[in-house]
C-alpha cells in the first residue's frame, strides 16, 4: 500500500529555477564579477545539482580566475557568492516571484487528509524550503511533512541516492511503500537508485531530460488525484 509521498522542491513543489537564476546573476553583480547566466546556459548548468556546485562547475568551465579572487580562496568565494544568491532568492520568494506548481497544494492536503505521510527530499538549502513553504502554506508548514532531507543533511547531491535513502530511513518505510515526485533526470536517477517509483512533472528547464524508467511523465500535477497516484503505484508494484 502507498504510505508516503516524497516531494522534490525545485521544479516540483514550485517553479523556482527562474528566480534562482536571477538570484545567481544578482550575486555575481553584487560581488563585482562580470558573469551572467542566460536561460540556455542555466539550463545546461542545472545538470549539476546544488548551487555551490553549479558555481564551481561554471567557474572551472571558464578557466579564468579573477586575480582578486585567488587571494580569498575559491571555497570562501563560492560560499560568499552562494550566500548573496540565497539572500536574493529569499527576497524574490517574499516578493511573490515564486509560485507553487499546479495541483501540488491540493495533493498535499488530500494526502494529509488520508493520513498519508509526506516528506521532502531536496538538494536545496533549508532556508529556501522554509521561506517558500511558509509563504504558501503558512507558519505551521513543517507540520505537514514528517521528514525533510536537504542540502544540510545530505551533502552528496542528486543523482546520488543519499537524500532519498535517508528520507526512507527516517520515515521507517521501504521504497515500495513510497512514491517520489521529481522534475529532473538527476532527481529521477537518485530516487530510482534508492528503489523508488517516481512520477515526473516536467518544466521548461527539464522537459528535454531523459526520463526513462519513470512511472509517469506529466506536465504537472493538475487534476492528479491521490487515488490516481495510488493506482499507478499499485501498477508499478504489480509489474515488478
Ligand atoms: C535543485 C537544485 C538546487 C537549486 C538551487 O534542487 O539543484 O541546487 O537549483 O538551490 P531540487 P541551492 O533537488 O529541489 O530539485 O542554490 O540552494 O542549491
Ligand atoms: Mg528538482
Residue 185 CA to ligand 2 center (angstroms) comes to 9
Ligand 1: atom nearest CA of 182 is 15
Least confident of 59-68, 79-88, 210-219: 59-68
Pick the residue whose CA is nearest to atom 15 on ligand 1. Answer: 10
The pTM is what?
0.96
10 is catalytic: yes
Task: Answer yes or no: are the C-beta atoms of 107 and 13 closer than 8 Å.
Answer: no
3-state secondary structure 2-53: CCEEEECCECCCEECHHHHHHHHHHHHHHHCCCCCCCHHHHHHHCCCCCHHH
Q: Is pLDDT of 92 > 60?
A: yes
Question: What residues line ligand 1, using a CB cutoff of 6 Å?
Answer: 8-11, 20, 49-51, 122-125, 128, 151, 158, 184, 187
What residues have CB less than 8 Å from 45, skipping those under 6 apart?
37, 54, 57, 58
Q: How much is the average pLDDT of 47-71? A: 83
- Average pLDDT, rounded, for the chain: 95
The rounded distance, in Å, linking the Cα atoms of 200 and 180 is: 8
Pick the residue whose CA is nearest to atom 8 on ligand 1. Answer: 50
Backbone φ and ψ of 7, nearest 5°: -100, 135
pLDDT band at 70 (very low <50, low <70, confident <90, very high): low
Q: Is pLDDT of 72 > 70?
A: no
pLDDT tens figures, 178-206: 999 999 999 999 999 999 999 999 999 99
Q: Is pLDDT of 65 > 90?
A: no
Helix axes 104-113, 226-238, angle to 10 degrees: 80
Q: Is pLDDT of 69 > 70?
A: no
What residues have CB less than 8 Å from 173, skipping those under 6 apart?
3, 4, 117
Q: Which of 9, 10, 53, 56 to mutate to test the pocket of ligand 1 (most atoms within 8 A of CB)?
A: 10
On the question of a cis peptide bond just before residue 159, with omega within 30 degrees of 0, the verdict is yes
pLDDT band at 71 (very low <50, low <70, confident <90, very high): low
Residue 199: per-residue pLDDT: 98
Q: Is pLDDT of 68 > 80?
A: no
Q: Is pLDDT of 145 > 70?
A: yes
Task: Answer yes or no: are the C-beta atoms of 170 and 149 closer than 8 Å.
Answer: yes
3 state SS of 121: strand
79 is catalytic: no
All 3 cell numbers of residue 53?
A: 556546485
Residue 67: per-residue pLDDT: 55
The rounded distance, in Å, linking the Cα atoms of 227 and 229 is: 5
Ligand nearest to the CA of 206: 2
Residue 49 Ramachandran class (φ > 0 left, ψ -120 to 50 alpha, else beta):
beta
In angstroms, the Cα distances linking 236 to 102, 199, 203 are: 24, 11, 24
Ligand 1: atom nearest CA of 13 is 14
Q: What percent of the chain has pLDDT over 70?
A: 97
The rounded distance, in Å, linking the Cα atoms of 124 and 66 is: 27
Amino acid at each position: 500500500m502507498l504510505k508516503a509521498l516524497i516531494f522534490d522542491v525545485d521544479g516540483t513543489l514550485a517553479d523556482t529555477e527562474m528566480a534562482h537564476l536571477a538570484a545567481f546573476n544578482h550575486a555575481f553583480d553584487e560581488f563585482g564579477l562580470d558573469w551572467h547566466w542566460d536561460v540556455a546556459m542555466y539550463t545546461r548548468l542545472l545538470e549539476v545539482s546544488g548551487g555551490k556546485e553549479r558555481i564551481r562547475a561554471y567557474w572551472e568551465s571558464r578557466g579564468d580566475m579573477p586575480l582578486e579572487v585567488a587571494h580569498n580562496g575559491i571555497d570562501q568565494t563560492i560560499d560568499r557568492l552562494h550566500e548573496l544568491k540565497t539572500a536574493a532568492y529569499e527576497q524574490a520568494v517574499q516578493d511573490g516571484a515564486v509560485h507553487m506548481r499546479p495541483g501540488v497544494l491540493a495533493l498535499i492536503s488530500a494526502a494529509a487528509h488520508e493520513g498519508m505521510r509526506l516528506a521532502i527530499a531536496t538538494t536545496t538549502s533549508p532556508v529556501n524550503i522554509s521561506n517558500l513553504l511558509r509563504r504558501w502554506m503558512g507558519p505551521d508548514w513543517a507540520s505537514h511533512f514528517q521528514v525533510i532531507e536537504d542540502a544540510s543533511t545530505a551533502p552528496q547531491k542528486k543523482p546520488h541516492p543519499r537524500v532519498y535513502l535517508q528520507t526512507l530511513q527516517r520515515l521507517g518505510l521501504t521504497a515500495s511503500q513510497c512514491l517520489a515526485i521529481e522534475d529532473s533526470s538527476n532527481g529521477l536517477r537518485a530516487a530510482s537508485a534508492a528503489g523508488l517509483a517516481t512520477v515526473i512533472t516536467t518544466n521548461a528547464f527539464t522537459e528535454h531530460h531523459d526520463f526513462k524508467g519513470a512511472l509517469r511523465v506529466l506536465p504537472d500535477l493538475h487534476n492528479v488525484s491521490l487515488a490516481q497516484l495510488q493506482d499507478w503505484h499499485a501498477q508499478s508494484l504489480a509489474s515488478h
